[in-house]
Amino acid sequence: MASAKVFIFAAADATGESHRMLERAGCDLLIGKAGWETPRGDNEEEMRGMAQGAHALIGTSIRSSPITRRIMMSSPELRVVSKYTIGVDDIDVDSATELGILVTHAPTESNWGAVAEGTIAMMLMLLKRLRQRDEQVKAGGWRDPALTGTYLGSRASDGYPGITLGIIGMGRIGRRVSNLLRPWNLRIIGYDPYVGDDVFAAHNVTRVELPALLGTSDVVTLHVVLTPETRNLIAAPQLALMKPSAVLVNTSRGGVVDEDALAAALRAGKLDAAALDVFAEEPLQPESPLRGLGNRVVLSPHMVAANAGGGLGGLGEGVRWATESVLAALRGQVPDHVYNQEAILQWQERFLGRAVLSG
């Protein structure tokens, strides 16, 4: 039996163990320039050439050239595009589905749970003025009243009501954020048109519409996937609804927020602060208006899920899941963690039981 060809378009396993797993199974590997540390690699034309004859594509997030229809059509034998991470916004999933190609991802708890924890860390950094306090003490200062923090929860002693947290997107991450903050006794509201009332009730979150959430919340945190519907979900009109004292946290995808509009709102004092782990262009471009906003923004290099023992780095959970998905597909089996479930029937007609790997 001939070898299966696997194109690793954006590597994430510095140890190479997952690559050796594929090679031991009988795969020939071709590795692109992109990687976890830098999501920019080969352009579309280069990737089309590298994908020719490939049975599988695998990798982490890639920004220089998403996995387009043209790239996938470079190989009639392509069975699966497998991501080491949760997000699939860098894959043309609709085209993959039309072509009968499975897209798998890695919704590991080490990833989405870490995003929830990092979201709360960013929120606390802004509300408690931690960075400014650190800078003041290191510069020889002491106890500036301007660095008074925000108390999050309600207080029975003096009737303080606590802040209102608005969660946009009640998927795994949004739910975990609400669960982690439940003991803090703050009011939590949420917006998600695709989730039932039972989910909101189970996580002690009050369902509201988006304008009400933006106008009421002291902190707005985004936990949505990037789709045509959510692109620039938070732009100038939405920012104008928020309180001048409010904080925006985005650990979802950069394209969800209009960065120019956000920078303008922060400069004009129409919003107090923002924390961003994700950006429309990654790495963040030198000319980005977000870079000149000082302590009004916390900027993180898309690493909120990067924790010891997490899904990436060596044979982490996400890397292992994605590798196992590729091996299953190459053996003619439907892999776990298929994102485009609607493609499975067509895929089965094309590939079920038709192995390009033995064993």
- The residues that are catalytic are 253, 282, 302
Q: Give the alpha-carbon dihedral of 304, 305, 309, 313, to 10 degrees.
A: -100
Backbone angles phi, psi at 28, to 5 degrees: -95, 130
Task: Order the strands of the 219-222 sheet from edge to edge.
Answer: 206-207, 187-191, 164-168, 219-222, 247-250, 273-276, 297-299
Alpha helices (runs of H) in 160-209, residue ranges in sequence order? 172-181, 197-202
Question: If you count them, how many residues does the chain have?
Answer: 359
Residue type, 275: A
Q: Please, which residues have CB within 8 angstroms of residue 203's CB and are 6 or more apart in sequence? A: 170, 175, 178, 179, 182
Output the DSSP codes for 242-260: S-TT-EEEE-S-GGGB-HH
CA dihedral 15, 19, 23, 24 (to 10 degrees): 50
